[in-house]
Chains A and B, each alone.
Chain A
Amino acid sequence: MELVEAIILSVLAASTPLLIAATGELVTERAGVLNLGVEGMMIVGAACGFGGAWLTGSILIGALFGIIAGTLMSLVFALMALGLAVNQVATGLALTILGVGLSGLIGAGFVGERITPAAHLNIPGLTDIPLVGRVLFGEDAFVYFSIALIIGVWWFLYRTRAGLILRACGDNHVSAHALGYPVLRIRTLAVMFGGACAGLAGAYLPLAYTPFFIPGMTAGRGWIALALVVFASWRPGRLVIGAYLFGAVTILQLHAQGWGVGIPSQFMSALPYLATVIVLVLLSRARTGGSTAPAALGTVFVPDR
């Protein structure tokens, strides 16, 4: 029983950065912008987040630094891809390259330092309940925030007028423009939201997961977040399933190795990717046919003046 609890705790921790980053990218893509720079924004968020927490001793300030850093990075993207109408794929890739380099530079001063990681919730009585206590009432704030975030995004996209307008920009920017909506401004805000989330997701790694900064510590999580958005067919609900499934299989395959199941470890390492792709593809085939991608995703929009 204790082992089950421990596994669930590890799964939540492993899934949270993916969920936060993917949530941001989902909003960006629903507005019709493909920002491939998630990895770059995350790693800069990680460096700045750690720097902020290390300098001030406050995890909250660290998280804010991460968010601001991610947002600033995304503004670079917005300037290029939206303002100057540069190809979004190329700009996103460039952003990742920039981020990886920049984070090394920012982080050089505090490589090898360590901080006290984010505190875990502790409500006497509730947190001590066997099995569910620590899972429900003993997480760090990022975990709760990530769940609130995705619920908020779902509500925003499907239950508010602003969300409808954002989706309209993603599906047909010409029509949205004709109706008088400021497409580029909406897209810029969506890109900034994506950047803020990526920055926070990156900051989660040194603030809560492994409380030190090492260049390259995001180790490809930004790319996984990007893939999750696609395989979740741009839907928040499926994104949650995908992120937790990926985290769960990642952790379970490690445990399976420890138990000595005898399946080659190379296959086990590939399993999270396989399982997530298969499940999400099956999910999207079961409900709707055809492409669910925002129709104007990745296309350049230059308003006629």
Chain B
Amino acid sequence: MRKSLLALAAGLLLAGSVSAASAADKLKVGFIYLGPIGDLGWTYQHELARQALVKELGDKIETTYLENVPEGPDAERAIEQLVRAGNKLIFTTSFGYMDPTLKVAKKYPNVHFEHATGYKRDKNMSTYSSKWYQGRYIQGLIAAKMSKSGVLGYIGSFPIPEVVSGINATMIAAQTINPNIKVKIIWANTWFDPGKEADAAKALIDQGADVIMQHTDSPAAMQIASERGKLAFGQDSEMIKFGPKTQLTSILDTWGPYYIERVKAELDGTWKSEDSWGGLDSHMFAMAPYTNMPDDVKKIAEDAQAAITAGKLHPFKCPVIGQDGKEIECKGGANLADGQILGMNFYVKGIDDKLPGK
């Protein structure tokens, strides 16, 4: 019931915003957002990037966005609506839009699509994502240094490879500092529900975790950690406002340069289907300032960031040991292959939990 109602709501909302786009001979660029632009997390960062795009190329393009578009079949209608409104380049900004985007892309071969964080492509559909696990590795180092209890709390959204590789990168890094470090993982099974995220943070802290990490979108966990005098990492966005004495750092999604580059390519007629997976060296994401930690920890973090950016340090350097103690087959030479990271469905050694569905 709730789903269909939300869909209905989304349908009406988008009917409103699409008609707002006025006709002109400018290139029309569309965006599909998962949450509200004011979510202070994932969608907010995409919106900031869109604004940067408008600032840079505003005289040549016209942008439209649809917010609160549920993943799944409703997304297809939303995307198609953008196509019909004349958008020639459409960014669909969540994993769950993958199949809907592909379907619409096949139907409209003359429109170009850019899908975030997915793995399905077509001749008119690119994908783009970030190597967030690199940031998670840095967070793992900091967390292990800063935790007094030796227990980290991790709020997951859904057990998909992107989240699992983040947990693994965190633990691989943390174990280099403290081999006995523990992590407690709670899956919220939602990307966005501030109340539930807060409940998960409370549960983790009540169970002894003193550094909270999250892979959900709202600043609720940061706020709870701040209330309880613990430490936490932000997610997607700068969340230090919700924990001035709590936030250690945050992985900041910085999509702006990528959006500008792709729209420029579209304007020049040089756009082609690509798979962009940017790391710290590509400016697809950045680390928020390292705060609330002593200088030596800050230095460890900065050194790791420099080494990763320079390509000298890889979080998934072989050998990577799985939960069962067996070495994971190394398909990428010295490191795990990109494909193995993008499809990661196992926990590394040292995580005493079962991956849901395994």
Contact = CB atoms under 8 A, between A and B. Distances in A.
A255 B206 contact: yes
Given A107-B38, A111-B38, A210-B223, A254 B159 contact: no
Contacts of B227: 117
Nearest to B197: A210
A76 to B, nearest CB: 16
B176 to A, nearest CB: 23
A198 B266 CA distance: 48
A101 interface: yes
Interface string B235-264: 000000110000000000000000000000
Interface in A203-247: 205, 209-212, 214-217, 219-221, 223
Contacts of B184: 258, 260
A210 B195 contact: yes
B24 to A, nearest CB: 26
Nearest to A270: B189
A97 interface: yes
A100 interface: yes
A10 B199 contact: yes
B241 A210 contact: no
Interface string B290-301: 000000000000
A265 interface: yes
Given A97-B8, A214-B39, A266-B189, A219 B194 contact: yes
Interface residues on B, range: 35 or more
B223 A114 contact: yes
B219 A212 contact: yes
B150 interface: no
A133 to B, nearest CB: 17
B23 interface: no
B241 A114 contact: yes
A108 interface: yes
A257 B186 contact: yes
B204 interface: yes
Nearest to B198: A210
Interface in B279-335: none
A203 B152 CA distance: 32
Given A114-B241, A212-B219, A214-B194, A258 B186 contact: yes
B20 interface: no
B202 A6 contact: yes
A212 B9 CA distance: 24
A254 B166 CA distance: 20
A268 B19 CA distance: 42
Contacts of A10: 199, 202-203, 206
A96 B159 contact: no
Given A210-B195, A250-B199, A266-B189, A111 B5 contact: no
A111 B190 contact: no
A260 B9 CA distance: 38
A56 interface: no
A39 to B, nearest CB: 8
Contacts of B59: none
A257 B240 CA distance: 28
Contact of A264 (B195, B224, B356): B356
A190 B203 CA distance: 38
Interface of A is mostly: helix
Interface residues of A, number: 46
Interface string B174-204: 0000000000111111101111111110111
Given A3-B206, A254-B186, A223 B159 contact: no
B218 interface: yes
A269 B241 contact: no
A251 B199 contact: yes
Contacts of B354: 260, 262
B227 to A, nearest CB: 8
Contacts of B186: 254, 257-258, 265
A93 B8 contact: yes
A110 to B, nearest CB: 10
A258 B197 CA distance: 14
B5 A260 contact: no
Nearest to B205: A6
A14 interface: yes
Nearest to A215: B36
B350 interface: no
Contacts of B269: none
Interface in B1-25: 1-2, 5, 8-9, 12-13
B283 to A, nearest CB: 24
Contacts of B35: 215-216
Best-surrounded residue of A2, A96, A97 (most CB of chain B within 10 A):
A97
Contacts of A211: 223
Interface string B203-220: 110110100000000111
A112 B204 CA distance: 24
B76 to A, nearest CB: 20
B352 interface: yes
Contacts of A262: 353-354
4 nearest CB pairs, A to B: A265-B187, A215-B36, A111-B38, A269-B189
9 contacts: A3-B206, A96-B9, A100-B9, A112-B241, A205-B195, A209-B195, A212-B223, A216-B68, A265-B186
Given A7-B203, A255-B206, A258-B209, 9 more contacts: A214-B38, A215-B36, A219-B190, A219-B192, A220-B2, A257-B203, A258-B185, A258-B186, A269-B187
